[in-house]
């Protein structure tokens, strides 16, 4: 079995591509000299200019302005420094404001809020830092969106799987449990996450094989039965180690394949093949034995020979009926032929079968049939021949299992937009333990009596399949010795069910 990588289950561990490198350049030393030296140089030049101007004034007017007004020189020399300090403080304020904004943006990113963006203002270094933060946010948002899409896709895939998935980490804690595994193992999906497998999962077989796979780091498989809310299920578990990108073990995964229905169908198939073989073999063996006897005994009395020929005819008729019923079942299993459906009145079909089957026996040799199909039409949409066969099988069964002194009541009615045909007899009835299985193929309540009256064991199975094909159903209420009541229902005809 293939080994699974952790990235196959949790895409959030994927490595993001490297972010662009941000480099900061130190400010050249001569810029600092210019910032500090320029005000001083201006002050010196301005003071020299004042002194020169003062000398000119002394020569012309004979008055020393600087000596008489010392504040002029002081103001001239200190004013440039004052403006220089103001400029430096303003620049520092702007730098601190930009740093504070960048800090707020970085804090927002650390909290997972990537909607904020850094302003691209200030000097080149500050703008470059803001651009780097914006690029970082764009890249992280792209990676988060990619991971979210992959996570949702993986969740949909895992949720839609028909097999159960159960995964644990190296600490034996559950890291993955889908709905199928939750249903099979009767474990709550949310509360079981991060729990120890031995505490959350009751199935010892699942726990054992997963822990062995985790310890041995080898794939394994096992078959076991587990009891869930809807009964006992047969499950095949396939396990495999979980590996990270460095091929180091990180846990174990189990795939749970429910084979309950497959095994049930396989059992039905085997029983069907066995029953068909037995049912075919019985008349064939009888026909062969009787024919060989007639062929070998040339001096057989004519009366005995006629009896043997009559029995051969009966067995060949039984064989023909069996093959006919098998072909009918095969045709119904194909679930095709709805293109032959037509609107028809179920009362007409029922009355035709009553008339036909009533004439098969001599007067007094079969029970009385009392039809009451009502006055309202029972319009359905279906195949006439199949519905005729289904109703005919039910009436034929009632005749066969009811004494000649008994009676059979056949009623037709409409119940909840369903056309219903009731066939009630006062025959031998069916014991409760057989009621759940009488619609199975080749199932007989009394095998000896069924073969004696010529039954194939397929009649009720055919009725069931025909009803299902017509979106209907058939049911029975019976008690041994008190008779049976079969109910056949088919949806009433409407334009919406002509598909």
Per-residue pLDDT of 350-366, as tens digits, reads: 999 988 888 776 666 78
Is residue 8 within 8 Å of 118, Cβ to Cβ? no
Average pLDDT over residues 94-119: 76
What's the token pair of residue 438?
């009488």
Confidence of residue 344 (pLDDT cuts 50, 70, 90): very high
pLDDT at 119 exceeding the cut of 90:
no
> What's the rounded mean pLDDT across residues 180-199?
85
Residue 447 pLDDT greater than 80, yes or no: no
**How far apart are the C-alpha atoms of 112 and 402, rounded to whole Å?**
81
What is the pLDDT at residue 487?
Answer: 94
pLDDT confidence band for 276 (50 / 70 / 90): confident
Taking 60 as the threshold, does the pLDDT of residue 448 lie above it?
Answer: no
How far, in whole angstroms, is CA 106 from its chain's centroid? Answer: 43
144 band by pLDDT with thresholds 50, 70 and 90: confident
Of 232 and 190, the one with more pLDDT: 232
Mean pLDDT throughout 262-277? 81
CB contact burial 17-40 (16+ within 10 A = b; e otherwise):
eeeeeeeeeeeeeeeeeeeeeebe
pLDDT of amino acid 474: 93
- Report helix angle 124-160 to 70-110, nearest 10: 10
Question: Given pLDDT bands bounded at 50, 70 and 90, which one contains residue 21?
Answer: very low
pLDDT given for residue 473 in this prediction: 93
Q: Span 373-389, mean pLDDT?
A: 89
Confidence class of residue 110 from pLDDT cuts 50, 70 and 90? confident
Question: Is 323 a residue whose pLDDT tops 90?
Answer: no
- For 142-151, 186-195, 420-429, 442-451, which range has the lowest pLDDT when averaged over its residues? 442-451
* Banded pLDDT at 130 (limits 50, 70, 90): confident
Q: What is the mean pLDDT of the chain?
A: 79
On the question of pLDDT at 24 being above 80, the answer is: no
Q: Give the residue among 161, 122, 386 at the shortest CA–CA distance from 255.
A: 161
Token representation of residue 469:
């094909």
pLDDT score for 9: 47
pLDDT score, position 452: 57
Measured CA to CA, the distance from residue 245 to residue 263 in angstroms comes to 39
Q: What is the pLDDT of residue 19?
A: 40
d(CA 97, CA 497): 75
- Per-residue pLDDT, 64: 52
Q: What percent of the chain has pLDDT over 90?
A: 15
pLDDT of 409 reads 92
Q: Say which residue, 423 or 338, is predicted with more confidence.
A: 423
**Is the per-residue pLDDT at 55 higher than 80?**
no
User: Which pLDDT score, from 0 to 100, does residue 231 have?
Assistant: 82
Residue 247 contacts residue 155 (beta carbons within 8 Å): no
Domains and CATH numbers, the chain: 13-18+27-146 (no CATH), 161-258 (3.30.450.20), 264-333 (1.10.287.130), 339-497 (3.30.565.10)
% of the chain at pLDDT higher than 70: 75
Q: Which residues of 464-476 are buried (b: 16+ CB within 10 A; e: fewer)?
A: bbbbebbebebeb
Partners of residue 255 on adjacent β-strands: 165, 238
Question: Could you tell me if 80 and 39 are in contact, meaning their C-beta atoms sit under 8 angstroms apart?
Answer: yes
Mean local confidence (pLDDT), 52-79: 57
Average pLDDT over residues 11-40: 49
pLDDT at 12 over 50: no
């Amino acid at each position: 079995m293939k080994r699974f990588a952790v990235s196959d289950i949790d895409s959030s561990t994927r490595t993001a591509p490297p972010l662009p490198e941000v480099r900061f350049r130190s400010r050249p030393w001569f810029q600092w000299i210019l910032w500090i030296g320029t005000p001083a140089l201006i002050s010196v030049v301005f003071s020299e200019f004042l002194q020169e101007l003062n000398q000119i004034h002394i020569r012309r007017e004979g008055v020393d302005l600087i000596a008489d007004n010392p504040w002029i020189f002081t103001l001239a020399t200190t004013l440039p420094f004052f403006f220089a300090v103001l400029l430096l403080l303003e620049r520092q304020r702007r730098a601190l404001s930009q740093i504070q904004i960048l800090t707020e943006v970085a804090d927002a990113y650390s909290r997972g809020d990537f909607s904020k963006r850094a302003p691209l203002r200030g000097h080149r270094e500050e703008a470059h830092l803001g651009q780097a933060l914006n690029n970082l946010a764009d890249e992280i948002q792209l990676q988060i969106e990619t991971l979210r899409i992959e996570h949702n896709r993986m969740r949909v895939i895992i949720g839609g799987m028909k097999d159960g998935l159960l995964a644990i980490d190296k600490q034996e804690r559950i890291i993955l449990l889908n709905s199928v595994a939750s249903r099979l193992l009767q474990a709550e999906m949310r509360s079981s996450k991060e729990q120890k497998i031995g505490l959350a999962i009751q199935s010892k077989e699942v726990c054992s094989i997963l822990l062995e796979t985790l310890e041995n780091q080898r794939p394994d498989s096992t078959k076991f039965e587990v009891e869930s809310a809807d009964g006992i299920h047969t499950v095949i578990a396939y396990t495999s180690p979980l590996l990270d990108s460095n091929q180091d073990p990180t846990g174990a995964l189990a795939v749970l394949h429910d084979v309950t229905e497959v095994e049930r169908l396989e059992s039905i198939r085997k029983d069907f093949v066995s029953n068909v073989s037995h049912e075919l073999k019985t008349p064939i063996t009888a026909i062969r034995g009787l024919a060989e006897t007639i062929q070998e005994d040339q001096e057989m009395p004519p009366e005995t020979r006629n009896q043997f020929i009559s029995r051969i005819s009966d067995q060949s008729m039984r064989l023909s009926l069996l093959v006919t019923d098998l072909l009918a079942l095969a045709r119904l299993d194909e679930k095709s032929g709805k293109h032959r459906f037509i609107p028809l009145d179920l009362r007409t079909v029922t009355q035709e079968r009553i008339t036909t089957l009533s004439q098969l026996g001599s007067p007094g040799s079969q029970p009385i049939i009392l039809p009451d199909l009502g006055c309202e039409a029972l319009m359905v949409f279906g195949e006439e021949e199949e519905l005729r066969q289904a109703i005919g099988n039910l009436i034929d069964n009632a005749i066969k299992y009811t004494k000649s002194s008994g009676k059979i009541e056949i009623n037709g009615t409409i119940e909840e937009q369903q056309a219903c045909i009731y066939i009630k007899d006062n025959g031998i009835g069916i014991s409760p333990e057989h009621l759940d299985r009488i619609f199975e193929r080749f199932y007989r309540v009394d095998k000896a009596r069924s073969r004696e009256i010529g039954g194939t064991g397929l009649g009720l199975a055919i009725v069931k399949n025909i009803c299902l094909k017509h979106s209907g159903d058939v049911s029975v209420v019976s008690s041994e010795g008190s008779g049976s009541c079969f109910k056949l229902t088919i949806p009433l005809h409407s334009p919406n069910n002509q598909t």
